[in-house]
Amino acid sequence: MSEKQPSVGTYILVFMALLVLAALTTGIAYVDLGPFNTVIALAIAVVKMSLVGLFFMHLWYSPGLNRIVVLAGFFWLALLVSFTLADFLSRTWITSFDLAPR
């Protein structure tokens, strides 16, 4: 473990950034951006996650091994989501039951 760690100032800056981003997510939800509402909300979530991971969880300062574990987690998660979605979305006989007559 490298001896370098974030300073209190870094923590405060990151915290402020997180608060601003949280407010931004909430605010943007009230603006009509069509499909981009979801895209922007998720993009902000990714930025917030990165800030927490890199600074609060010290990944920025951690040995590469820990970062590989994180990447491996994301890799398997991507497999899980993409293969499941590929299956569901390619089956044309599965449609939303919302559209079916009741």
Partner 1 sequence: MSERAASDALPLLPDQPAHSASSVLHHQFEDIEQQRDADNFGMWVFLATEMLFFGGVFTGYIIYRTLYYPGFVAGSHGLEANLGAAMTFVLLASSFTMAMAVHAAREGKRGMLVGFLTSTIILGIAFLALKFTEYIHKWHEQLVPGFNFHPALESLRGAPERSVELFMCFYFFMTGLHALHMIIGIGLLAVLAIVAWQGKIPRENYTRVEVSGLYWHFVDIIWIYLFPLLYLIGGRYQ
Q: What Rg, from alpha-carbon coordinates, does the chain have? A: 19
Q: Rounded to the nearest whole angstrom, what is the least distance from the CB of residue 96 to partner 1 in the complex?
A: 5
Calpha distance 79→51 (Å, rounded): 24
Q: Is 27 left (phi over 0), alpha (psi -120 to 50) or beta?
A: alpha
Q: Across 1-102, where does the E strand assignment appear?
A: none
One character per residue 62-101, x = contact with partner 1 (rule: CB under 8 A): xx-xx--xx-xxx-xx--xx--xx--xx----xxxxx---
Q: Is 94 helix (H, G, I), strand (E, B) or coil?
A: coil
Q: Rounded to the nearest whole angstrom, what is the least distance from the CB of residue 45 to partner 1 in the complex?
A: 5
One-letter amino acid identity for 73?
A: G
Interface residue list for partner 1 (CB under 8 A): 1, 5-6, 8, 11-12, 14-15, 18-19, 22-23, 25-26, 29-33, 37-38, 41-42, 44-45, 48-49, 52-53, 55-58, 62-63, 65-66, 69-70, 72-74, 76-77, 80-81, 84-85, 88-89, 94-98, 102
